[in-house]
Amino acid sequence: MTGDRVAAPDTAAPAAPPGDAPGTGAGTGAGAGAANCTGPADDDLSVWPHSTTRLSDGDLAVGGVPLTEIADRFGTPAYLLDEAEVRGRCRTYVQAFPDTDVLYAAKAFLCRAMAHWVGEEGLGLDVCSAGELELAVTTGFPASRIVLHGNAKSPEDLRAALRLGVGRIVIDSASEIARLAAAVPPGSRQKVLVRVVPGIAAGGHSKIQTGTEDQKFGLCITDGSAQHAIARILDQPGLELVGLHCHLGSQITAEKPFLCAVRRLVGLMARIKDHHGITLPELDLGGGHGIAYHPDEHSLDIPSLARKVRAELTESCAAAGLAVPHLVVEPGRAIAGPAGVALYHVLSVKRTGDRTFVAVDGGMSDNPRPALYGVRYLPRLIGRRSTAAPAPMTVVGRHCEAGDVLAADTALPSDIRPGDLLAVPVAGAYHLSMASGYNLVGRPPVVAVAGGHARLLVRRESLEDFRNRDVGL
């Protein structure tokens, strides 16, 4: 395994030929610009699922299933998930973080199969709504292994969490304390964490940095908000404060911010012990572990992060005279993202001035991330071989927005034409979970691939679905 890639298990795929090994590089996915024509070499599959293999007709197979077969059977747009890749990434976390609770962040992508996979691999779940919670529990996921968080939990969210018996609820605001305490049944106690803001700027884009003091999440250490909330929680007999929580942001590819967060949260734990005489037994460092969307980008080295976090936590606690708390981490994108591939058919090719626009049958309704964060993706022609020279093209969606761009100035064969099939790797996280019904375009299906077989996990949203929701006249 290279240091910059979360490895899949040995059973995930046959050995890759030279050139297919995971690569390393520099940069981050979110927020990176795409001013120049960029594109992968034909032999570079480093950001694809580990099971990806080439076929003789210019196609690729993932999980032993040709991508053209997926498109033919399920239509496009379509998303596939490599089950072995998901499971392998779960195992990497479990192995790298022994004696740690690893919670899959459901916001990255959740369906019944995903909940089942991560549960079987020994992970818990981090959810942020009654919807995510109910789906997981009705799948059979133990509520005791679920943590509910969110900056604006509704009364329904809190009632569902208490009714189903979630293991932890993360307090995000002072007003939530009284609301939750009033909802706890008499004679019961709900274990809670306090989400604190450590004042650390980290993340691939300003819109996904959540550890700073100028955003909506958590309670600040520097202005005393966190300390005040902790004192209030300790006065509530129905709430049991068991630890601190923080989440620095997303697409973090350096270890230093996490180590800094450990030091600051341990410092707060020491002050809590001095002021209140209690030692908190848990520390949740959240997630935000960055992945590569391009072969020239870095992913966060998870085994290295685990070693350094554990060492920093042990050293900081020893210096503060504290017992080492139980550690919790919450990866989401780093598990789901590289396991996913999006498939689109080309609808039109239009040359306007110096630009060539390749329009596909999906777009910002199934992947809003380029419009939100300027994320770069690398679409690839599959299903036929082309000897045409690559040229810079802009892959756009079908929606009525000028910002509906999936990949700007990316290299594609100059003979690209309507009917061609494009595949986009690293599409497993924050695509369908953020999808919309814009222009009443139904959300795509999700297909699992494993061992040469494909099966439908989530069906395509249909016109009938839209009609059934529209009940007025």
CB within 8 Å of 235: residues ≥ 6 apart: none
Closest CA to 330 of 214, 168, 440: 168
User: Is 331 assigned a ligand-binding role in the annotation?
Assistant: yes
Return the structure tokens found at 246. Answer: 């923080």
Task: Count Cβ atoms below 10 Å from residue 404 Cβ, excluding itself.
Answer: 21
Q: Which of 37, 128, 317, 400 is labelled catalytic?
A: 400
Q: What DSSP designation does 402 have?
A: T
Mapping DSSP to helix (H, G, I), strand (E, B) and coil, where does residue 82 land?
Answer: strand
Identity of the residue numbered 403? G
Rounded distance, CA 176 to CA 405, Å?
39
User: Is 312 assigned a ligand-binding role in the annotation?
Assistant: no
Q: Which residues is 411 bridged to in the sheet?
A: 392
How big is the chain, counted in residues?
473
Closest CA to 157 of 331, 146, 433, 94: 146
Closest CA to 424 of 353, 473, 354, 366: 366
Q: Which residues is 102 bridged to in the sheet?
A: 329
Say what the alpha-carbon torsion angle 112, 114, 116, 117 is, to the nearest 10 degrees: 160
Rounded distance, CA 315 to CA 266, Å?
10
Are the C-beta atoms of residues 205 and 373 closer than 8 Å to each other? Answer: yes
Are the C-beta atoms of residues 361 and 398 closer than 8 Å to each other? Answer: yes
| Unique residue bearing structure tokens 């936590």 | 313
**DSSP codes of every residue in 255-274:** SHHHHHHHHHHHHHHHHHHH
User: Is 373 assigned a ligand-binding role in the annotation?
Assistant: yes
Continuous segment of H or E residues that includes residue 315: helix 302-320
User: Is 438 assigned a ligand-binding role in the annotation?
Assistant: no
User: Is 79 assigned a ligand-binding role in the annotation?
Assistant: no
User: Is 369 assigned a ligand-binding role in the annotation?
Assistant: yes
User: Is 112 assigned a ligand-binding role in the annotation?
Assistant: no
List the Cα angle 62/430/72 in 5-degree steps: 35
User: Is 418 assigned a ligand-binding role in the annotation?
Assistant: no
Whether 111 sits among the annotated catalytic residues: the reply is no
Residues annotated in a binding site for substrate: 333, 369, 373, 401, 430
Residues annotated in a binding site for pyridoxal 5'-phosphate: 288, 330-333, 430
Catalytic residues: 400
Residues annotated in a binding site: 288, 330-333, 369, 373, 401, 430
